[in-house]
Amino acid sequence: MLRTHYCGNIRESNMKSYVKVCGWVNTKRDMGGIIFLDLHDREGTLQIVCDMEILKDKFKIIESVKNQSVIQVSGKVRLRDDQTINPKIATGTVEVYAQDCKLLSEAAPMPFSLEEDVREDLRLKYRFLDIRRESMLSNLKFRHKIQKLAQDYLDSDGFINVETPMLTKSTPEGARDYLVPSRLHPGEFYALPQSPQIFKQLLMVGGIDKYYQVARCFRDEDLRADRQPEFTQVDMEMSFVEQEDVLKHLEKLFKYIFKHSMNIELDERFTRITWKTAMDRYGSDKPDLRFDLPIVDITDISKICKFSVFRNVVDSGGVVRAICVKGGDVFSRSQIDELTKTAVTFGAKGMAWISLRPDGEIYSILTKYFSKEDIEAIINRTEAKNGDFILFCADKLDIVRKVLGVLRLEIADIFGLRRKDDYKILFVTDFPQFEYSEEEGRFLAMHHPFTMPYPEDLDLLDTDKGAVRAQAYDVVLNGVELGSGSVRIYDAKVQEKMFQALGFSAEEIKERFGFMVDSFKYGTPPHAGFAFGLDRLVMLLTGSNSLREVIAFPKIKDGSCLMTSAPNVVDEEQLEVLKLDLFRAEISTKKKHKNHSDIDVDKVVALAMLSIKEEEKEKIKEDLLNIIEFANQLEKADISQIREKELEVVNVFRKDVVTNGNRRDEMLSNAKTKEDGLILVKKVVE
């Protein structure tokens, strides 16, 4: 070994020991004949003392060494002088007095300083350097710890770690799949797994009984701060269990992780609320319970009030709900305006509000429309006191839930109620089995099509899909969904009925899920499972704002990697081997033979926001066809002989020459309306 110890592990217990350490030079301080180095590795930083009289010729190495170069140092451990002790680092009381050194790798000038804050795009481009930063290194080490704790707990509880395939069959239902072309089966594709869902259920059929896996999953979705195209989840499944068994197991698991990673004892039983309660009380199926601010239903009061806006909403089937902000009378007018803009952004038509002054005065435009009795009823329902602020939303149920759910979080941020070092975990249960897709015109599975409905709701599969409740559950931490699970369908007849409720024909069921449905014929135990996002849990426990801070090599918003430039084009030969060149040729042929003679000139003109004369349309159409034909000719051109040619550098600057401009009538020729030599604009503001 080139070293005997990590730099960050040297302590006073190593006093007078002869050690070899290796690492990166963080800083160098030349005191004239003696140079102090801060040498860093994954475990921490160690001070090295380099004496010219001891190192002799090798002292030149230290004199010329550049920051972030890699060196090896041998020497004795000794105590630092009292005045040089550094209490900020674990090795702050010791140093190594160098007796030999060796330059292992010289560093080029760094693209950025590891000690300073830099743009994220630069950090991601040089991620291999960014990982040397203390914050990133610490996050990755903590991630390793969380993963190991989860595995240790599951191992001790009798779970068996089983790997499932990365190349599997595409079963389009949910997020988009990432597809992988097959060389041996031209024209056919594997899919990267969105989760090991089907395989872990088949493991239960196989008798594994308790399975887990730290699984890589892939979903072709639009990215955000808490979503990546490839992510890691701790996946688990159990046989002969009911929902209550799984929830108890998960509570023990998360309490174990918190205790051994954060030294936090979560003594209380995790809060449990149904999906409907979460949506009605907090406007979200992943509510943040670090603060209260409940949503209060005042639909019944609004139905009989004198305010026609609220009353009309209720009469048309909508709802009216409110949030009472304790101490909200301190809101400035600009803060109220910002909250109103947020409400409108998420679908509201506005935001009504009442402010209760500390002296009891009611300040609101609503006093013009509400009776005294209406105001008192609302104040009593929302439990508002002097100094509070009540805001309202009246609309369709889904819009009201969304708007007030967002405003609840905005208000919490204004008052600083979402502390990152405060942790509130809860279970959300009884999700709807289905959600209706306006885009597809049918019901889709809210979780996945293998989720068991409550037995008493099975008959509703044929009559009222929207009322069917699923035995599904989420774990939510501080307003972020950590993971989902459910009791699975294990009866082949129930599974077939579920597929039919989702609109699958018998042929589609056999094509997409035939192997799974068939497996249920051979003795399937009742089973249930869960999976949580490892990346998300680490992000929350480290107080990071993005998954990118806890993943070694993440993607950015458009799904690309700044460091490797993936995704990228591939060689023609690779396409030929996979027979993908045939698909490309077919698509190209279709494009070339597309009939452009039916160009909609009016649509082109409208898109360009132009106004043209009727007699000009044919000329514009002819010009567009000529442009398309020219582009087709360029596509056929042989560019293999084109070579770069250096052009002579010449002065391209010229003196401006004043020329005669266009005549007024020429400039106005395309104006839709004109009068007295001017463009006429219609009156739009009274």
Per residue in 325-350, pLDDT tens? 999 999 999 999 999 999 999 999 99
Residue 168 has pLDDT above 70, yes or no: yes
**291, 510, 518: which is closest to 422 by C-alpha?**
291
Q: How confident is the model at residue 663 (pLDDT cuts 50, 70, 90)?
A: low
Question: What b-and-e string marks burial along 614-642, b requiring 16 or more CB atoms within 10 Å of the CB?
Answer: eeeeeebbeeeeeeeeeeeeeeeeeeeee
Is the per-residue pLDDT at 253 higher than 90?
Answer: yes
pLDDT score of 413 more than 80: yes
Show the tokens assigned to 34.
């003696």
How far, in Å, CA of 351 to CA of 354, rounded?
10
Residues paired with 434 in a beta bridge: 445
CA–chain centroid gap for 434, Å, is 24
What pLDDT does residue 648 have?
A: 54
Residues 6+ positions from 79 with CB-CB distance below 8 Å: 12, 15, 93, 94, 95
Strands 319-325 and 295-297, how do they pair?
antiparallel
Supply the pLDDT for residue 267.
84
pLDDT tier for residue 137 given thresholds of 50, 70 and 90: very high
- Say which residues have a Cβ less than 8 Å from residue 601's Cβ, sequence separation at least 6: 617, 620, 621, 624
Extended beta strands in 111-270, E state: 160-161, 179-181, 189-191, 210-218, 230-239
Tell me which DSSP letter residue 348 carries: -
Cis peptide before 567 (omega within 30 of 0): yes
515: Cα within 13 Å, side-chain hemisphere: 8
* pTM score of the predicted model: 0.82
Q: How confident is the model at residue 661 (pLDDT cuts 50, 70, 90)?
A: low
**Tokens 């639909």 -> residue:** 299
Q: What is the pLDDT of residue 189?
A: 93
As a whole number, mean pLDDT of residues 464-485 equals 96
Please tell me the least confidently modeled range out of 139-153, 473-487, 513-527: 513-527
Q: Do residues 635 and 588 touch, judged by C-beta distance below 8 A? A: no
Q: How confident is the model at residue 679 (pLDDT cuts 50, 70, 90)?
A: confident
Q: Categorise residue 443: left if φ over 0, alpha if ψ from -120 to 50, beta otherwise.
A: beta
Q: Which pLDDT belongs to residue 45?
A: 97
- Split at pLDDT 50, 70, 90, the class of 104 is very high
For residue 470, give every residue at least 6 positions away whose Cβ sits within 8 Å of its Cβ, in sequence order, or none: 430, 431, 432, 433, 446, 447, 451, 452, 453, 454, 486
pLDDT at 422 over 70: yes
Q: Where residue 174 falls among pLDDT bands split at 50, 70, 90?
A: low
516 versus 554: the higher-pLDDT residue is: 554
Average pLDDT estimate for 588-610: 65
Element (H, E) at 152: helix 134-156
Residue 602: per-residue pLDDT: 78
Report DSSP state, residue 489.
Answer: P
Adjacent-strand bridge partners of 432 = 469
The H or E element spanning position 312 is: helix 308-315
Length of the chain: 686
Position 313 scores a pLDDT of: 95
> How sure is the predictor about 404, in pLDDT bands with cuts at 50, 70 and 90?
very high
Write the pLDDT tens digit of every residue in 379-398.
999 999 999 999 999 999 99
Residue 173, pLDDT above cutoff 70: no
The percent of residues in the chain predicted with pLDDT above 90, rounded, is 69
The three-state secondary structure class of 286 is coil
Q: What would the mean pLDDT of 276-300 be, rounded to a whole number?
A: 96
